[in-house]
Structure formats: structure tokens, C-alpha cells
Amino acid sequence: MAWFIRTSRSGVHAVYSQQAQNSCGIACVIMVNFKLKKWKLAVAASAASAGIVAAAPGMVMAVTDTMRSEKEVDAAYAKVTGQPYDGSTDSDARLLPQVLNQLLIGRWQTEFVPANRLADNIINRSKFSSAPFIALVHWRGGAGHFVTCDNVVTVNGTTWADFCDPWDGSVRTLALRSGESITYHAKTEPGYMDFMGQRNTYASRVTAAMDGWIVYQVNA
């Protein structure tokens, strides 16, 4: 398990770093699950501090449900596909909603939005939903990669989105501009303090395009 605490201009983020070569989609599901269930940890911790006898089992259950392992989510993905899965091959964006639905965090769906309309889609959806979502980027070399957006905020007329990258456990903040496609730049910066595991790194700056595949919550 590899969790990291990162900060951006809009706050603090818990970022999970994938443990298998191609488990970025699974790692993003793990992050979404955590971000929507972390309140359970606060409730359990509050009960424990109040000296409630049943708090200890409650804390264990909260941690287990909130901080899922790749092995658990791999099994959920395998249940959807009917084939074993271990993160050695790519996951399918169209199947991730069925995995998220198994975690009891609302109903999810995948949608393809044209690249030049994706920024507007994200901006508009952020007005009525604060739930995190998963986006697919494609590197210029051709491979794909999933990232999780956990915050969208507008400051002085510019909308910014924070994307948690499961490859190197970092957060990248991108400006969203109406009518324009979104370019994703990734480079692992030195100086991060890492806890609870090791992360991968980007050896050099790489560039990707968000080509429209997103996985989002339909309702809670």
C-alpha cells in the first residue's frame, strides 16, 4: 500500500501510487473510494477519542472499507470481466463504473466527451457535484494512463482542476479553458516527503492529451 499526502493551491490531497505496471485504473478507483468514504475515518476516530467501547472494531471496519487494496479492487475488476486481473495489463474505462458500483459509493458511468468540450464538461459538472472523477490521458508515445480529479475551483475567473497521478503519487493542477482541449504535463519533482510506501517516477517531462474518456458519479 502506498499513500502520499500532497498539497496544492486549493488544499491537501491523499494520493495513492499504483503498485503494478498497468494498475493506474485500479489505483484511481482506490482513490475515489477513499475520497468519498474518508468521513468514516473521522467518525470512527471521534468515537475512539470519546472513549466509546465499540470504537475499536468500528475503526478497523472504517479503515478496511475506506483504504481498499489493489488486490481487493483487482478482484472486483475480475468479477466484471470474468477473467483474472493483476494489473499487468490495461484496464478498460468502460468497465470501471461496474467496479465502482460494487464499492457502494453511488452509481457511476463512463462517457466520451470530445477533447475540445471536455474542459466545459468538467466545469459545468463541478457546479452541481463535488465527487471526484477519473480521466484518461494518452501520452504522445501512444500509451494511456488514468488520473483522478478530486477538486475543481474557480479563482478570479480561471477554473483550476487538481489531478492526482497514481504513477508517481503527485498532484498536478491544470487550468481549464472553455472550448480548449486539456494538455497534461507530468514530471516528478524532487523534495516530496513520502510516507507509507514507495512511488514510481517520471524520469523526464512527458506530455499527454485528455482525449475525452471520463468516469463519473451519476448520483450518490
Query: Range of 48's domain?
Result: 3-219
Q: How many domains does the chain have?
A: 1
CATH of the domain at 90: 3.90.70.10
Task: Report the distance separating Cα 18 and Cα 26, nearest Å.
Answer: 8
Q: What is the pLDDT of residues 112-150, one digit of tens each?
A: 999 999 999 999 999 989 999 999 999 987 789 999 999
Joined grid coordinates for residue 158: 480561471
Task: Report the distance separating Cα 20 and Cα 167, nearest Å.
Answer: 9
pTM of the model: 0.89
Task: Report the distance separating Cα 194 and Cα 1, nearest Å.
Answer: 12
Q: Beta strand 133-139 with 107-112: parallel, antiparallel or unpaired?
A: unpaired
Q: Which of 153, 135, 160 is nearest to 216 (CA)?
A: 135
Q: What is the pLDDT of residues 10-39, one digit of tens each?
A: 888 999 999 999 999 999 999 999 999 886
